[in-house]
Amino acid sequence: MISEGNDEAERLPDLRRCERIRWPRPIIENAADAALKIWREPKGSGHRVLIWFAEAEYLVVLDEREDYILPWTAYPVEREHQQRKLERRWERYNEGN
């Protein structure tokens, strides 16, 4: 949750992620808050739960397992096009439910 990059051996800590390391838990615990946009997406053979805190430009991703939910990643979403993409994904999910 504090580094970025595809190659595990070469990942470097991301200071923006480090500054927000305590954010995922209160976001998850306050999932009923209207400020949070929450949706579920298929990923591989399972599903991911995305919690988008748009006001803070922060995304928490959880991985649904058979008997539990695993914190997968969390990070600031600073680029406008990424924020628009998340909004569209959330809207698509809500149209289907």
User: Where do the structural domains in the chain lie, given as residue ranges?
Assistant: 3-96
**Residue type at position 90:** W
SS3 string, 37-80, reads EEEEEEECCEEEEEEEEHHHCEEEEEEECCCCEEEEEEEECCCH
pLDDT digits (tens, 9 = 90+) for 40-80: 999 988 999 999 999 999 999 999 999 999 999 999 999 99
Which pLDDT tens digit goes with each residue over 15-38? Answer: 888 889 899 999 999 999 999 999
Whole-prediction pTM: 0.85
